[in-house]
Structure 1
Amino acid sequence: MTIEAPAKIKFNNNILIVDDHPFIIEGYKNAITRYKTDEYTFMIDQAKNCETAYDIITNPETAPFDIAFLDISMPPFESKNIFSGEDLAKLLQRYMPNCKIILLTMYTELLKIKTIVKTINPAGLIVKNDLNFEVLIFAIDTIINNKKYYSDSIVRMLELVDADAVEIDVFDKQILFHLSKGTKKSELTHYILLSAGAIERRKKDLMLLLKIESGLDKDLVQEAKAKGLLY
């Protein structure tokens, strides 16, 4: 009598990919569906903007996602205050707390990276310039095995900077300067080449970075001066 070996169990994973470039979504799908096909099967949902992603995530009939790939820079869904992949990540953490989030970004500003790590603590954080097929496969493997994956550029930035150091970019310096001069909120866009929403998000990032619990501009300015970020 011939005894057949038991069929190998495949693990199912529900994946969400959010990116406003269809060819990038296809690249992710191509890599994901080639990963250990004898061990895993993947069900993939996709969205090309924050509104579509919001509808998928908040739909009570949507099965929880195991992994989500989120581009940080996305067309916003302003009526729901969803302006970026970061906001979608926070939404996912609320609706699907066990989902492993991979954020993909073109940002290389230290303040932005440190804020993402602190506020979202993603399972994966990848600078797009680091990304290729092999990196994506390695990131998937690392995260499926319950480890974090940060791409090379992220690791270098975080390793080279003193943990207590505070670094901000030119836009943040402009925001702090005009706040210190008493410029009205409605007039900030006249002096800073950012949208009102972007300025408010940067203010919130600065509040987090400088540990301003009051949320008051005057406290932010005072602490920025104490840290030598504003003279």
Structure 2
Amino acid sequence: MSDVSSVPSRVNVLLVDDHPLVIEGIKTLLRTDAAVRVVAQANSGPEALRRLREHPEVDVVLLDLHMPQMSGVELTQHIRADHPGIRVLALSMFHDHASVTQVLEAGGLGYLLKNTSKAELSAAIADVAAGRTYFSQEVGQTLLQNLDVPGQRTGAPAVVELTPREREILRLVAEEKSNQAIAEALFISERTVETHRKNILTKTNCKSVVGLIQYAIKHKLLA
């Protein structure tokens, strides 16, 4: 994934939804945003993959989760495998923990509800294009409600001390940075990054990037 500093001055977006009216509504919302340009649209996962081959300039894919032929999660997996430089922002009517987790596990960086405002939509696109995560308030609450860190199951306060370097690496991991990218950004070796990652997972009792993102949200480390 490219560095955060390489964010384009204008974000090129592909819209994917099986309801044309939804796409038209989103295009209307974004029409006055000079920082965003909708370069293509698709009504299914397979069509979206064709559009990406036709439009290599796409920076962010804004996709619906529930579509026939190919779900938004499956599409996200294909995009991350075939176009690793493209960021994915999910849009859904639902924010259950399973759906949010599936998107994150597939490689999506953000999750919005379809009742979002124009301001939030623009902010989410900008953050995701920059390699940061973005969750609507309801989605963030869903993640926090299902957060599993040491001490929470017994009602005791979770006390997890991270060093400043570990906090820095946690934030970059939550942004889906590779070990190489983190090493380059912090001027350390990849082996050192891997050691820090293992220590963070052990300290936070997290099993995956999703767990780390949940932890980072809880402790306000993604700002």
SS state at 1:24 partner: helix
Distance across 1 between alignment mates of 2:45 and 2:139 = 24
CA contact under 8 A between 1:65 and 1:96: conserved in structure 2?
Answer: no
Structure 2 residue aligned with 1:203: none
Equivalence for 1:73: 66
> Residue 87 in 1 paired to residue 74 in 2?
yes
Alpha-carbon distance in structure 2 between the residues aligned to 1:111 and 1:14: 29
TM-score by length of 2: 0.57
Alpha-carbon offset, residue 154 of structure 1: 0.8
Q: Which runs of 5+ in 2 are unaligned?
A: 1-7, 153-206, 208-223
CA, structure 1 residues 53+23, in 2 after alignment: closer, same or farther (shift >3 Å)? same
Deviation digits for residues 6-58 of structure 1, max 9, x if unmatched?
Answer: xxxx83433210001212112222233322x2xx462510011223223223x
Q: 1:41 to 1:138 in 2, by over 3 A?
A: closer
The question of whether the paired residues in 2 share the 8 Å contact of 1:12 and 1:43 is answered with: no
How far off its partner does 1:102 sit?
A: 0.3
Judged with a 3 Å threshold, the aligned counterparts in structure 2 of structure 1 residues 111 and 153 are, in CA distance, closer, same or farther, namely: same
Partner letter of residue 99 of structure 1?
I
Paired residues in the alignment total 145
Q: Which letter maps to 1:112?
A: S
Q: CA contact under 8 A between 1:143 and 1:149: conserved in structure 2?
A: yes
What residue is the counterpart of 2:182 in the other structure? Answer: none
1:49-198 alignment, distance < 5 Å? 49-57=44-52, 59=53, 61-76=54-69, 83-117=70-104, 119-129=105-115, 131-163=116-148
Structure 2: how far apart are the matches of 1:99 and 1:140? 12
Letter of the 1:31 counterpart: L
Letter in 1 for 2:138: S
| Percent identity of paired positions between Structure 1 and Structure 2 | 25
Deviations 1:62-118 (A, max 9, x none): 314201001011121xxxxxx20111111111221111110112233222322322x
Give the Cα–Cα distance (whole angstroms) in 1 for the partners of residues 125 and 148 of structure 2. 28
C-alpha change, 1:53 and 1:121, in structure 2 (3 Å) is closer
Structure 2: how far apart are the matches of 1:20 and 1:33?
A: 20
Which protein, 1 or 2, shows the higher relative CO under an 8 Å CA cutoff with sep ≥ 6?
2
Offset at 1:143?
A: 2.6
Moved over 6 A (4+): none
Structure 2: how far apart are the matches of 1:41 and 1:141? Answer: 8
Contact 2:76/2:107 (<8 A) preserved: no
Structure 1 residue ranges without an equivalent (≥5): 1-9, 77-82, 166-210, 212-231
- Give the structure 1 partner of residue 11 of structure 2: 13
Does the CA-based 8 Å contact 1:64-1:99 persist in structure 2?
A: no
